[in-house]
Amino acid sequence: MTAPRPKEITLDRTRRMLVVGWQDGHLSEYGWRGLRASCPCAECAGGDENMGRPPDPREFFKTDSPGPRNTLNEVGLVGNYALTLTWGDGHHAGIFNWAFLRGLCPCPQCFPSQSSV
Ligand SMILES: [Zn+2]
Ligand SMILES: [Zn+2]
């Protein structure tokens, strides 16, 4: 199965969200704090052995805490397969590929158990 690709990526600074419209018509809204908590780089994952862990949308249902760490400054593309996110504290090591990003989608359709978190 190949992951759908984003068609449109919007950085919504008012709502502190990254909004991704996918080629298959799906819309994902990711709160910044949850995205940062889900950063897949070795440093944030807690070591090389934890890289490649599955996406966990539960991070998006925790309380937001504004601050440089959870402020998304810039969204960049890595080739045509992933995003890099640059945060207010300068961190930019995470590579969010499309499959990972889609797997993080916290909407009720993708993550039905959200109400029981
Ligand atoms: Zn990281
Ligand atoms: Zn979804």
The ranges assigned to domains in the chain are: 6-116
Cα(112) to centroid(ligand 2), Å: 9
Residues 6-116, CATH architecture: 2-Layer Sandwich (3.30)
Residue pair 114/57 in contact (Cβ under 8 Å)? The answer is yes
Can you give the C-alpha Rg of the chain in angstroms?
A: 13
Q: What distance in angstroms lies between residue 43's CA and the mean position of ligand 1's atoms?
A: 6
Give alpha helix (H) positions in the chain. Answer: 32-37, 42-45, 98-103
Q: What's the CA gap between 104 and 50, in Å, rounded?
A: 17
Q: Give 110 Cα–ligand 2 centroid separation in angstroms.
A: 4
Q: Which residues, chain by chain, have CB under 5 Å from ion ligand 1?
A: 39, 41, 44, 93-94
Average pLDDT by stretches of 10, the chain with 117 residues? 87 98 98 96 87 88 94 96 97 96 95 67
* Residue 113, helix vs strand vs coil: helix
Residue 81, φ and ψ in degrees, nearest 5: -125, -10
Q: Which ligand is nearest to the CA of 27?
A: 2
Q: What is the pLDDT of residue 115?
A: 55
